[in-house]
Amino acid sequence: MKYKGLKDPILYDGSQIEPMWALKNFNIKGSSLISWIGPMNLENHKIIDYEDVGLEIKSDEMLHLMVEHFDCQPADLRLCYHRQRLLVTIVKDFLQEMDLNIQRNGDDLFLGQGKLSVSIATCSASSMKIHFGVNLTTVGTPGDVTTAGLKDWIEGFDNEKAHEIAEEIFKAYEMELKTIEEDISKTRVF
């Protein structure tokens, strides 16, 4: 897997979940995790989860993780959702190490009463895609949802720390996938 941490902000508008976004925009071939900090604003026609159509999905500042896998052909939505939950659990573990009482419900993380994250998993004919976004602030989030932001809960938390965490999350995610492959290769089957 390849990793790229973008330093310039990008608006997450849903176009990044399209297949081969990393290749088209950064010439990254193959499975990858791209991270960046930026706002999010999804218009209804870009919302993938049918249950979310009609809802406001936005934030002024988030840490975004965009994962794409090409290792399973044809792409497998069930496997993609399993990987999404693995990624969410890794993020939860990292934030708990920062003495935050993070709760997970499916693919959502909560801090106190506030929703801390958004996520979606999907597939194209050639790849599996996961977007995971963590609120850095509650500014610009929907008024009808109680939200939480890392900068509101961690004194001195800044974008540089968010970039560092993103790279550590990638390393942990990559290691989980690698050790799964190693376990497969050493297991006797019947």
Residue 53 parent element (H or E): none
Tens-place pLDDT, residues 124-157: 999 999 999 999 999 999 989 999 999 999 989 9
With respect to residue 142, please indicate whether it lies within any of the assigned structural domains.
yes
pLDDT tens-digit map of 45-65: 676 765 665 666 899 999 999
Instruction: For residue range 159-170, list pLDDT tens digits in order.
Output: 999 999 999 999
| Residue 88 pLDDT class (50, 70, 90 cuts) | very high
Peptide bond into 74 cis (omega under 30): yes
Flag whether 22 is in a domain.
yes
- Domain holding 35, by residue range, is 2-185
- Residue 105, in any domain of the structure: yes
Which position has the higher pLDDT, 179 or 47? 179
Residue 19 lies in a domain: yes
Give the pTM: 0.94
- Per the domain annotation, does 138 fall within a domain? yes
> Is 93 within 8 Å of 41 (Cβ atoms)?
no
In a domain? residue 190: no
pLDDT number for residue 55: 65
Residue 25 lies inside a defined structural domain of this protein: yes
Cα(54)–Cα(42) distance, rounded to whole angstroms? 10
CATH number at residue 67: 3.30.930.10
Count Cα atoms within 13 angstroms, Cβ side, for 169.
34
- In the chain, % helix, strand, coil (3-state, to 5) comes to 35, 30, 35
d(CA 88, CA 93): 9
Domain count for the chain: 1
